[in-house]
Amino acid sequence: MAFLTKLSKISPLARVCLSRCMSHVPENTVYGGPTPQTADRRVTLNQLKQKYKKGEPITFVTAYDYPSTVHLDITGIDICLVGDSASMVVHGHDTTLPISLEEMLVHCRAVARGAKRPLLVGDLPFGTYETSTSQAVDTAVKVLREGGMDAIKLEGASPSRITAAKAIVEAGIAVIGHVGLTPQAISRLQMALQEAGCFSVVLECVPAPVAAAATSALRIPTIGIGAGPCCSGQVLVYHDLLGMLQHPHHAKVTPEFCKQYACVGDVIKKALSEYKEEVNNGSFPGPSHTPYKMNPDDVNGFFKELEKLGLNKAASAATTAAEKMNTTQRPDTERK
């Protein structure tokens, strides 16, 4: 309490400087997170800052579930975003608006269980932070505490968004901003998001010269998506870059800014078609995929027990299955 009293008496400029120093997550760790964070495993804000200072690109992928995040972990991706785009990609909606905080938390927890290395960032879905700064902070806390995230992402650079971002940062939670840019907005973005304490900003669907100018002007990393090669890092959606394009907007058309590094959707379609065909023609499952065997004595005993019970049809079916699986053949072939 004495500290707060002293803080209230200092000059506004000193208060801003002090709040900026206090608002950032500690350099050697991240706030919260799903697993114990050791220096040789978990990507930290400090490591990202060091990469940024050295000019090393930051790799960033949006994913929504456990198996996807395991792949990000194995390949050493720096940041994983659990995006509200799950509304379209996973849930099949036309926009991001319908997804709820509860649904987002389910995705966050699944991702957190699969990630040991990437910094984890959770989107705050629409309607969960716009009403007030206290609502924004409460939602951000929930995403970290219940979702296992390390940071949150906010979209937009309006005054209300900046206020929300600043409040969340001052609560000790790391924030990534997310905006589309025009040349006239660079200066305002630079001041607003940096002063709010965001540690990075996503630049989406903007011309490369604009993104390059913003990257040069800002003192925090920029992450581009459809923003050209001059950003501090790049982000793509897991499903898009792998060619798993099944949600309504992208079922047949890849976003122009997205490079497909694989055509996993075609592989999935081929595999499912082959599975369907093999089930229909009876070739699956064959002996190699029917591993649970009975020794010959047990098989013969089973046949006899069925016949004792008068289940001759069942005994015949069992005999046919045994012969098909090359398990054994009945020594006594006479039917009663």
Task: Give 13 or 298, the one with higher predicted confidence.
Answer: 298
**What residue ranges in the chain does DSSP mark as E strands?**
58-62, 79-82, 119-123, 151-155, 174-179, 200-204, 222-225, 233-237
CA 30 – CA 152 distance, rounded (Å) = 12
pLDDT, position 202: 94
Residues 292 and 13: their CA atoms lie apart, in Å, by 74
Structure tokens at 287: 């002996």
In whole angstroms, give the CA distance from residue 323 to residue 286: 12
- pLDDT tens readout for residues 60-98: 999 999 999 999 999 999 999 999 999 999 998 989 999
pLDDT at 293: 86
pLDDT tens across 262-272, in order? 999 889 999 99
**Tokens in use for 256?**
């122009």
Average pLDDT over residues 235-246: 88
Query: How many CA atoms lie within 13 Å of 25's alpha carbon, on the beta-carbon side?
Result: 25
Task: Give me the residue spans of the domains in the chain.
Answer: 2-265, 282-336
Rounded percentage of the chain residues whose pLDDT exceeds 70: 80
The amino acid that residue 101 corresponds to is: L
The residues assigned a catalytic role are: 204
In angstroms, the Cα distances linking 238 to 21, 57, 68, 315 are 35, 18, 8, 51
pLDDT digits (tens, 9 = 90+) for 322-335: 888 864 444 444 44
Q: Kindly tell me if the per-residue pLDDT of 35 is higher than 70.
A: no
What are the backbone angles phi and psi of residue 202, rounded to the nearest 5°?
A: -90, 130
Residue 185 has pLDDT above 80, yes or no: no
State residue 324's pLDDT score.
Answer: 82
Question: What's the gap between Cα 117 and its chain centre?
Answer: 13
Q: Which CATH number fits domain 2-265: 3.40.50.80, 3.20.20.60, 2.40.30.10, 2.60.120.200?
A: 3.20.20.60
pLDDT at 33: 43
Considering only residues 243 and 4, tell me which one the structure prediction assigns the higher pLDDT: 243
- The DSSP H or E segment spanning 140 is helix 133-145
Name the pTM for this structure.
0.80
- Per-residue pLDDT at 4: 37
Q: What is the mean pLDDT of residues 313-324?
A: 88
Mean pLDDT across the stretch 294-307?
Answer: 89
Helix (H, G, I), strand (E, B) or coil at 119: strand
Is 122:147 a contact under the CB 8 Å cutoff? yes
**133-198-86-72 Cα dihedral, nearest 10 degrees:** -150
pLDDT value for 27: 41
The pair of structure tokens assigned to 232 is: 């501090």
**pLDDT tier, 183 (very low <50, low <70, confident <90, very high otherwise):** low
For the ranges 38-42, 130-134, 249-253, the lowest mean pLDDT is seen at 249-253
> Is residue 74 classed as helix, strand or coil in its secondary structure?
helix
pLDDT at 2 over 80: no
Read off the amino acid at residue 78.
D
Distance in angstroms (rounded) separating the CA atoms of residues 42 and 35? 9
Binning pLDDT at 50, 70 and 90, where does residue 246 land?
low
